[in-house]
Amino acid sequence: MSRKKLTPLQVIKISETLEDFKALLPRYRKCKEDETGDLLHKFCSRNRNPIFDLTSIEYFSSNLMSENAKGEDKKKLVLDHYIQRTKAVKLIFQELDLRENLTFDEFVSLLKRYCSTVLLTKEEHTKVTVFAKKRPSCFNYEIYPDCGIRVNGLSEHILN
């Protein structure tokens, strides 16, 4: 099995995002003190786009797909973050809050853990999106079974 590698440009983008997130840490700390949770949610939502830009590459793919996606035309498949990006940003900032001097390798490890993707059919992705709005506290991977989506190996992937 070949090991995926980051290109020099991808390394720069990830390094810059880590530095941006470190610079945003004081703002995160202020937002997390908001008792309603609204400020924190807005903060995480505003800062999710860099996560999408960084993790929509082969390096962050889990190489897993739903059973329904197997054998489907690639045009009918969608990359799904099994942890929604807004929730992933919150998890990453929680880690950064504990370890301000997070290294590049540690940050990449967090991105892999919280921001990897799986392939779903477009129909499955739509179901997950609708269902996630009804259960906003759940991660996408927790919703998959309720939508009849099976991704063999995902539990093991998440635990590793």
Quote the pTM value: 0.90
Average pLDDT of the residues of the chain = 93
Domain that holds residue 115: 8-159
Is 2 contained in some domain? no
Categorize the per-residue pLDDT at 2 as very low, low, confident or very high, splitting at 50, 70 and 90: very low
Is 91 contained in some domain? yes
Residue-level pLDDT at 160: 80
Categorize the per-residue pLDDT at 38 as very low, low, confident or very high, splitting at 50, 70 and 90: very high
Give tens-digit pLDDT for 87-141.
999 999 999 999 999 999 999 999 999 999 999 999 999 999 999 999 999 999 9
> Number of folded domains in the chain?
1
Length of the chain: 160
Is 42 contained in some domain? yes
Q: DSSP for 115-134?
A: H-EEEEEHHHHHHHHHHHHH
Higher pLDDT, 1 or 149: 149
Closest by CA to 67, choosing from 154, 157, 151, is: 151
Give tens-digit pLDDT for 62-88.
999 999 999 899 999 999 999 999 999
Is 132 contained in some domain? yes
Residue-level pLDDT at 56: 84
Q: Give me the sheet containing 77-81, strands edge to edge.
A: 61-65, 117-121, 77-81
Range with the lowest mean pLDDT among 3-12, 20-29, 129-138? 3-12
Is 3 contained in some domain? no
Task: For residue 40, give every residue at least 6 positions away whose Cβ sits within 8 Å of its Cβ, in sequence order, or none.
Answer: 28, 31, 32, 34, 90
